[in-house]
Amino acid sequence: MLADKTAIIYGGGGAVGGAVARAFAREGAKVFLAGRTLSKLVKVATDISAEGGDVEITEIDAFDEEAVKAHADMVAARTGGIDIALNAIGLVHVQGTSFVDLTLDDYAFPIIAYAQAHFITAKAVAFHMAKRSRGVILTLSTPGGYLPGTGYLGFGVACAAIEGFSRLLACELAPSGIRVICLRPHALPEALALGSHGRQVFQPMADRAGITVDEMLAGPAQTLLKRYPTLAEVAETAAFMASDKAGAMTGTVANLTCGTLLD
């Protein structure tokens, strides 16, 4: 589906970013992995290369606006343009603290940081996509902005902000032929097993139930499908959304919550 496409994945060494990168490469895209942890990028790149995929890695901080722009410029110059970009970065932040004990800094950090990172990466790639009047920008959220619960106020607001940003960005970029799609998976047990920061979201709920996070996720999921999504499902959905097969879709959220949320 992605033959002759060029894709940049920010946070490409992470569980979700890595899974999407592998799927993109299998579908024929040339993949550029960007992230802060070189060892993780190398691991994903090695897997892709072993399957015959085309991949390059760059150690970069998504909050460094100049570095992100320079990297996007380099990719576009090397390949003739940028077709797809996914921001899949993860940030460690405070979870499990009640509102009365939550500091302003701990509340605001994930909201501000995720909003800034998505703005920086989207702006860097949109400039090149607009030149050819085509491109797809993918963002990543969770149902945290909708689920009732305590202990994740800042993260929940951050997820709502990412989805709002994605819808409004789609309006901004539609005249340039650029589509914007947000992916919203629920808990990903495979990602948590790989050390994803998402474990923080479920720790307070597990503590209240008197069990571990792994035990909670291994039990019956509180979803319509009675399970959680898999990394493969998220990755394959991302590949479809990035392809021309989804060419009529923009400004929407792909609901991958297994029925936890009904849109």
Tens-digit pLDDT profile for residues 206-234? 676 677 767 766 666 788 999 899 999 99
CATH code of the domain in which 195 resides: 3.40.50.720
Q: What is the pLDDT of residue 194?
A: 62
Whether 261 maps to a domain, the answer reads no
Query: What percentage of the chain carries pLDDT values higher than 90?
Result: 78
Structural tokens at position 124: 């860097």
Domain range for 38 is 6-256
For residue 193, name the pLDDT band (cuts at 50, 70, 90). Answer: low
Q: Is residue 1 part of a domain?
A: no
- The answer to the question of residue 263 being in a domain is no
Distances (CA, A) of 173 to 169, 181, 182, 183: 6, 12, 14, 18
Question: Residue 196: what pLDDT?
Answer: 61
Question: Could you tell me how far CA 166 lies from the centroid of its own chain?
Answer: 12
247 part of a folded domain: yes
Domains in the chain, number: 1
pTM (2 decimals)? 0.92
pLDDT at residue 218 in the model:
66
How sure is the predictor about 84, in pLDDT bands with cuts at 50, 70 and 90?
Answer: very high
CA-to-CA distance for 258 and 141, rounded, in angstroms? 15
For the stretch 24-69, pLDDT in tens is 999 999 999 999 999 999 999 999 999 999 999 999 999 999 999 9
Say if 43 falls within a structural domain: yes
Q: Which residues of 253-262 are buried (b: 16+ CB within 10 A; e: fewer)?
A: bbbbbbebbe
- Whether residue 197 is predicted with pLDDT greater than 90 in this model: the reply is no
Instruction: Specify if 212 maps to a domain.
Output: yes
In a domain, 262, yes or no: no
